[in-house]
Structure formats: C-alpha cells, structure tokens
C-alpha cells in the first residue's frame, strides 16, 4: 500500500496571483485535491466512504510558506496520512521545487456518520495494514485564534455563491480561504507577506448565506473571523513574514 502519494505539476497561470506567484488560497485547493486523489487510492475516497455512510470533515488546516513557486514552475506535491487518534486524524502535505521544500501543511480531519450525524471512530476508517510511519510535515501545533470580535472590527461582507459549493452541499473549505484572501487588497497582502496560515472550520455555510468578516492585528498575526447566521463559521490566523 502506497502511504505517500506524490505528483508533479506546473504552476499554471490560473493558480498565480498578481505577483506571478502561486496564490495563497490556491495552495489550500491543491492540498485538498491531492488529498482526494490519495484517499481514492487508499479506499477512503468520497464514493467508498459514502457506501459506508461516512463523510470526511475538515476541522483545521495549517500551511507554512517558505517560498512560493512562480508561474510555470514545476513542483512535486506529496501527501500522506498520519497516525490517527480516536476521532481525529491529520494528513501532511509537502511541496518541493528542485528537491527543496517550499511549502508544508497539515489538515486535521474527522469523519461523520451520515446516518447518525455523529463522529465515527478512526479505527474503522483506514485499512488495518496502514503503517503510519512517515513523520508529520508540520510538528507545530495549530494556532489558538480569537473568537471575540466587536463591531468596530467588521470590514467586509461576502455572499456565498454557487461556485463556492462543493459535492457535500456546503461551502468548500478552500473557498473560505479564497474569500478571506480576496477581502484584502494586493497592497495589504504584500505588506503581510504571509509565512504561515491556520484555518479553523467551525460551522458550514450554504449558497446564499452572508458571511460577515472581522479582522484584528496583534503583533505578528492578522486574525480574521468569518460569521454567518449568528454562528462562527471560520477562524483564520495569518503570521506575518515581514
């Protein structure tokens, strides 16, 4: 069983930002895509899980940016599952360019039983012969992110659109990051020059929902809170690179 999956890919123009580099939110999308491909190979992809009345849920994601590849660069993207806990499991990601690690990440996943709407134990998800012997790509813990914004910190509103919705019927995980990055100007993104992002997913949004965004700068972090229907939807921390 191939526990580490790798694929080569070009950084296409559609993945490049205004500076001609791989867009921050596009990294989240590429990681999600490669995880899906590998999950299919391991027999825990969308359709196989649906047959077992199970569905993957993303709880948290962390991405570390050491260098963002340029448009038309060739990179190698790798992913592997980490040893699961009782109802949670991490998946690691690594992007390399010319043999050098340029971006790493990890996602914390849970699995919900679609019939009972309760979390399923991870012991019943993966094959029994999975070794889980590859070290994590991101040993640092996920950030603790504020969830106590006031109205003075509100700065943006976003309506969830049809193109944000995925096969699960709710707003796609990477679409939240795209909306958050899109709420900032290019000048602000350049000033921040993010070197690390953490995203915590709290409650789903659906087509037509209004997301209200709040932000706060505190030392080397920019925090963004996304709220809908009086609930916390997503919390984001961006560690500044400058």
Q: What CATH number corresponds to the domain at position 216?
A: 3.10.129.10
pLDDT exceeds cutoff 90 at 2: no
Mean pLDDT for the stretch of residues 108-112: 94
Residue 141 lies in a domain: no
Residue 130 lies in a domain: no
Which pLDDT does position 239 carry in this prediction?
98
Residue 146 lies in a domain: no
pLDDT exceeds cutoff 70 at 157: yes
Q: Average pLDDT of the chain?
A: 95
Which pLDDT does position 142 carry in this prediction?
96
pLDDT exceeds cutoff 90 at 164: yes
Specify whether the CB–CB gap between 89 and 80 falls below 8 A: no
Do 116 and 63 share a structural domain? Answer: yes
Residue 45 makes CB contacts below 8 A (sequence gap 6+) with 36, 39
Q: List, in sequence order, the alpha helices (H) in the chain.
A: 24-41, 46-51, 173-182, 186-192
| Nearest of 18, 63, 64 to residue 174 by alpha carbon | 63
| Strands (DSSP E) found in 34-115 | 54-65, 74-81, 89-97, 100-113
Specify whether the CB–CB gap between 28 and 173 falls below 8 A: yes
Do 209 and 110 share a structural domain? Answer: no
Q: Kindly report the pTM of this predicted structure.
A: 0.94
Which pLDDT does position 119 carry in this prediction?
93
pLDDT exceeds cutoff 70 at 211: yes
Mean pLDDT for the stretch of residues 187-197: 96
pLDDT interval class at 1 (50, 70, 90): low
Do 107 and 18 share a structural domain? Answer: yes
Q: How far is CA 34 from the centre of its chain?
A: 12
pLDDT interval class at 128 (50, 70, 90): confident
| Nearest of 6, 143, 178 to residue 79 by alpha carbon | 6
pLDDT exceeds cutoff 90 at 141: yes
Print burial letters for 12-23: b (CB count within 10 Å at least 16), e (below 16).
eeebbbeeebbb
pLDDT exceeds cutoff 80 at 160: yes
Q: Which residues partner with 199 through β-bridges? A: 61, 236
Q: State both tokens at 41.
A: 């190979």
Mean pLDDT for the stretch of residues 65-78: 98
pLDDT exceeds cutoff 90 at 228: yes
Do 116 and 223 share a structural domain? Answer: no
pLDDT in tens, 23-65: 999 999 999 999 999 999 999 998 999 999 999 999 999 999 9
Given 85, 106, 124, the domain boundary residue is 124
Mean pLDDT for the stretch of residues 115-135: 90
The packing angle between helices 173-182 and 24-41, to 10°, is 170
Q: Which domain holds residue 94?
A: 5-124
pLDDT exceeds cutoff 80 at 20: yes
pLDDT interval class at 216 (50, 70, 90): very high
Which pLDDT does position 127 carry in this prediction?
87
Do 200 and 101 share a structural domain? Answer: no
Q: How many domains does the structure of the chain reveal?
A: 2
Residue 129 lies in a domain: no
Find where tokens 């993945």 sit.
15
Do 235 and 197 share a structural domain? Answer: yes
Residue 74 lies in a domain: yes
């Amino acid at each position: 069983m191939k526990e580490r999956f790798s694929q080569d890919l070009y950084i296409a123009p559609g993945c490049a930002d205004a500076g001609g580099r791989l867009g921050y939110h596009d990294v989240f999308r590429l990681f999600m895509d490669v995880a899906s491909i590998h999950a299919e190979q391991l027999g825990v992809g969308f359709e196989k899980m649906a047959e077992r009345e199970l569905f993957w849920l993303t709880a948290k994601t962390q991405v570390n940016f050491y260098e963002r590849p340029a448009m038309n660069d060739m990179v190698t993207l790798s992913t592997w599952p980490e040893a699961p806990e009782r109802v949670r499991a991490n998946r690691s990601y690594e992007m390399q360019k010319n043999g050098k690690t340029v971006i790493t990440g990890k996602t914390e996943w849970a699995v919900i039983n679609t019939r009972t709407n309760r979390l399923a134990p991870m012991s019943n998800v993966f094959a029994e012969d999975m070794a889980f012997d590859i070290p994590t790509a991101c040993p640092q813990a996920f950030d603790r992110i504020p969830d106590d914004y006031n109205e003075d910190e509100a700065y943006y509103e976003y309506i969830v659109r049809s193109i944000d919705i995925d096969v699960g019927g709710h707003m796609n995980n990477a679409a939240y990051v795209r909306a958050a990055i899109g709420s900032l100007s290019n000048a602000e993104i350049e000033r921040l020059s993010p070197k690390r992002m953490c995203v915590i997913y709290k409650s789903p949004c659906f087509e037509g929902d209004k997301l209200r965004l709040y932000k706060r700068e505190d030392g080397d972090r920019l925090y963004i809170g996304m709220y809908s229907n009086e609930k916390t939807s997503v919390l984001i921390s961006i560690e500044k690179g400058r």
